[in-house]
Amino acid sequence: MATDPVALWASSAVTQLLDGQDDPPKYGSTAWRELPGDDPRRGAAIITAAEWWRRYGDEDELLSWFRDASRTRESLAGRKTLAELDALATPKPRPVQATDGWPPVAVPGRPGWYRHLVDGQQVDVQRTDVAA
């Protein structure tokens, strides 16, 4: 990432802090905590950890992503085809039912007919009167 100014700054800062010393221990590790408070490797470890976080996010999250990316997947032959998925997504017609306490329901495909619930039975009635 030669054009990433943040990465360039972080690399330069770590190089200056280490000044030829070994790579710093992982930030927060026992080895890092045992470093003297003024040891420049502490700062280099902090910058390195921050840069890794900026680029890749949480380490546990990154490892989880790698595990998920490398897990065995179902073969393509075992998956549903687009036609099968479309068929599953197509709405299925349901019978029109009138419900107690609700107004009558228009019967699809039969203009002027309405389904009522009368004594627990579904009854279709043609409406001849026009509402005013």
The reported pLDDT for the residue numbered 26 is: 92
Q: In which band, very low, low, confident or very high, does the pLDDT at 132 lie, cut at 50, 70 and 90?
A: very low
CA neighbor of 97 nearest in space, from 118, 71, 111: 118
Amino acid at 30: T
Q: How far apart are CA 51 and CA 2, in angstroms?
A: 14
- DSSP letters along 84-131, please? HHHHHHSPPP------TTS--EEPTTSTTEEEEEETTEEEEEE--SPP
DSSP H helices, the chain, are: 5-18, 30-34, 40-56, 59-70, 82-89
Assess whether pLDDT exceeds 80 at residue 59: no
What pTM did the predictor assign? 0.45
Assess whether pLDDT exceeds 50 at residue 118: yes
- pLDDT tens figures, 14-54: 999 998 888 899 999 999 999 999 999 999 999 999 998 88
Average pLDDT of 80-99?
91
Average pLDDT of 51-73?
85
Q: Domain limits of the chain?
A: 5-70
Q: How far apart are CA 58 and CA 69, in angstroms?
A: 16
Average pLDDT of 44-65?
86
